Chains A and B, each alone.
Chain A
Amino acid sequence: MAHALKEVFYEKPKQALGAHPEDARVSLSYLSIAFIALFIGGVLGLLQGLERAGLMQLPPWLNYYQVLTAHGILLVIVFTTTFTIGYQFANLSHSLGGLLPKVRKLAWTGLVLMVIGVALVTTTIVMGDASVLYTFYPPLAASPFFYIGLVFLVLGIWACCFGVFINYRHWRKNHPGEPAPLLAFFAMGVFTLWFFASLGVTVEVLTLIPWTLGWKETVNVLVARTLFWSFGHTLVNIWYLVATSAWYAIVPKIIGGKHFNEKLIRLVVILLVVLNIPGGFHHQIIDPGISLSIKFLHVFMSLSIAVPSLMTAFAMFHVFERTGRQKGGRGLLGWLKKLPWGDVRFLAPMIAMISFIPGGAGGIINGSNQLNQVIHNTMWVVGHFHITVGVSVVLTFFGICYWLVPYLSKRTLTKKMNKVGVIQTIIWTVGMAIMAGSMHIAGLLGDPRRTSYTTYKDHPDALSWIPYEYIFAAGATLLLVGVIIQVYAVFHMMFLSPKGVTEFPAAEPVADAAPAPLWTERWGLWVVLLLMVVAMAYVVPIVDMIVHAPPGSPPIRTW
């Protein structure tokens, strides 16, 4: 008992006394920007949905593709990035006993760089100079300031990456022979993957700046697209890795259980870090200029990402079953009834996990060579993206808010706010189910994505898509209601909820668990393996694209 008290008050003071105020300020600042971006991006999403269904016409000063670009950048890059950094720095602060002062400075530097970047990017979009969609690859060309803004965003992310690496290394140096805490291990995986995934897109953006400034006449479109997708798809998997950190290390505590075998959890993180980057190539299965053998190699690389996901499915079901049975659940599935469905901190991530079943299955379809030809560039892809990022990732993020924000702001989650969260989760789930579901069906019928409302001169096929497009719009309306409730909940918990102490719900291993294996801490080796996999996947095709390059493209502005 005395030893336990000594450990709590002398060795883990920050865990005992809640979030360090300065660390909490860092995380809360990032979360505030995240939810402002979510609100603006959500409003734009509804406008887009209504325009796409032909239910409203945007004013002449607001182009559909402008709205589409802003919606994508604000939600897929700004919201997810800032939320992840806020959440991961809170995890690091809690599990490593506080952030180092220089790491805190790096986090603030990152925030300033990102704000400058977002300001430049959004200004160019609002001015109508950057309707190049979230993917922003050539031949579409935005204002050079758009790409300069992206450089600032990347620099901000790198500042945070270096902060995480420094803090992690410092902890390991001071705790020889000890594996880092699980949540810190996840943070290390997330930021390692982020850093290496961003290298390709940085090269692309640095190529596009002189091209849009007129210093260079043409650009190799295929190389640029390849560099983008080495980042574009990995980014989605970075958010997925962030979500899995909560599934593995937080949710078990919330349901009153213990986390799964730490060796398997760490192996999942390592596999996701090592295998992920080449997965983006399946976005180019239909691209000309890439040989069939390379495409088949990449089908294999893309599908390999499913392995750690299936391990996660098994591990999480086992944690739920074990906990449910310990609480008296009997029979084949009786344990499900014992899970705390009324607790938003569980309900939201649980629905997120369930949605990953069709989401992951859809991903396997997208990554399969022939099947990709059925769904390529159709609304199926948009539906897939919304069910994976919009539910599996974002609903997990929403669930995290209901303990993280009160913990950081030294307030409590009230019963009333929990109820608000449950209602929000239901609205979000229904909205996303009908929107993403109808998008999947419309996509299978051939409805193209990235296209404003059109009936293609009343072609019967195009007319058959319209009922589904009405359903998109209905779903998008519900989702905006969900966004408003969530933004209200986050800022209420930040500034208005009753003062008090909220626990950081980090799960612990079972009593007789073996210690986490030290070999998992060989980050140098994981990075070498990552680079080898990337080299295997990219060196031959990129050299081929450069050596046998078709004529380059000048900048094209279609709007």
Chain B
Amino acid sequence: MAEKHLSHHSQSPEKNNNEDVNSMKGTMVSVGFVAAVIVVMWVAVFWLYMARV
């Protein structure tokens, strides 16, 4: 835990900044949102299909 704490503080502000600039977390969340829309819509219409057959 202490090691983790130290290593966090030993990173330079520049490195932190670069990491933030190169981050792809937002892309991952956005693509996840696309997947969620696809799944929710598909399941909803499939549910309608099952209810009607």
* A binding-site residues for B, Cβ under 8 Å: 310, 313-314, 317-318, 321-322, 324-326, 330, 332-333, 335-336, 357-358, 360-362, 364-365, 368, 370-371, 373-375, 444
Cβ contact within 8 Å between B20 and A375: no
Contacts A318-B24, A321-B27 given; does A364 touch B38 at CB 8 Å: yes
Contacts A313-B34, A317-B30 given; does A325 touch B20 at CB 8 Å: yes
Cβ contact within 8 Å between B26 and A333: yes
Q: Does B25 contact A (CB under 8 A)?
A: yes
List B residues 1-53 near A (Cβ within 8 Å). Answer: 20-27, 29-31, 33-34, 37-38, 41-42, 45-46, 48-49, 52
Cβ contact within 8 Å between A364 and B42: yes
Cβ contact within 8 Å between B24 and A365: no
| Alpha-carbon distance between A210 and B17 when the two chains are bound, in angstroms | 70
Q: List 10 A-B contacts (CB under 8 A).
A: A321-B23, A322-B22, A330-B20, A333-B26, A357-B34, A357-B37, A361-B37, A364-B38, A365-B42, A373-B49
Q: Which residues of B contact A365 (CB under 8 A)?
A: 41-42, 45
Q: Which residues of B contact A368 (CB under 8 A)?
A: 42, 46
Q: 4 smallest A-B Cβ distances: which pairs?
A: A317-B30, A321-B26, A361-B38, A361-B41
CB contacts between A and B, total, < 8 Å = 67
Question: Which residue of the partner chain A has the closest CB to B31?
Answer: A314
B47 to chain A, nearest CB (A): 10
B23, B25, B33, B52: residue with the most chain A Cβ atoms closer than 10 Å: B23
Cβ contact within 8 Å between B23 and A313: no
Q: Which residues of A contact B22 (CB under 8 A)?
A: 322, 325
Cβ contact within 8 Å between B24 and A371: no
Cβ contact within 8 Å between B38 and A371: no
Question: Which residue of the partner chain B has the closest CB to A335?
Answer: B26
A521 to chain B, nearest CB (A): 29
Q: Which residues of A contact B23 (CB under 8 A)?
A: 321, 325
Q: Which residues of A contact B42 (CB under 8 A)?
A: 361, 364-365, 368, 371
Cβ contact within 8 Å between B38 and A360: yes
Question: Which residue of the partner chain A has the closest CB to B35?
Answer: A310
Cβ contact within 8 Å between B27 and A374: no
Q: Which residues of B contact A321 (CB under 8 A)?
A: 23-24, 26-27, 30
Cβ contact within 8 Å between B27 and A317: yes
Q: Which of A335, A357, A374 contacts B45 (CB 8 A)?
A: A374
| Alpha-carbon distance between A418 and B52 when the two chains are bound, in angstroms | 49
Cβ contact within 8 Å between A371 and B30: no
Q: Which residues of B contact A333 (CB under 8 A)?
A: 26, 29
Cβ contact within 8 Å between A375 and B45: yes
Q: Which of B27, B29, B38, B46 contacts A370 (CB 8 A)?
A: B46
Cβ contact within 8 Å between A332 and B31: no
Q: Which residues of A contact B27 (CB under 8 A)?
A: 314, 317-318, 321
Q: Which residues of B contact A364 (CB under 8 A)?
A: 38, 41-42
| Alpha-carbon distance between A357 and B30 when the two chains are bound, in angstroms | 11
Beyond A332-B25, A371-B46, 17 extra complex contacts between A and B, CB < 8 Å? A310-B31, A313-B34, A317-B27, A321-B26, A330-B20, A332-B29, A333-B29, A335-B26, A336-B26, A357-B33, A361-B37, A361-B42, A364-B38, A365-B41, A365-B45, A370-B46, A374-B52
Q: Which residues of A contact B52 (CB under 8 A)?
A: 374
Contacts A313-B31, A321-B27, A332-B26 given; does A444 touch B45 at CB 8 Å: yes
Question: Which residue of the partner chain B has the closest CB to A329?
Answer: B26
Q: Which residues of A contact B46 (CB under 8 A)?
A: 368, 370-371
B36 to chain A, nearest CB (A): 10
Q: Which of B20, B31, B49 contacts A317 (CB 8 A)?
A: B31
Q: Which residues of A contact B25 (CB under 8 A)?
A: 332
Question: Which residue of the partner chain B has the closest CB to A369?
Answer: B49
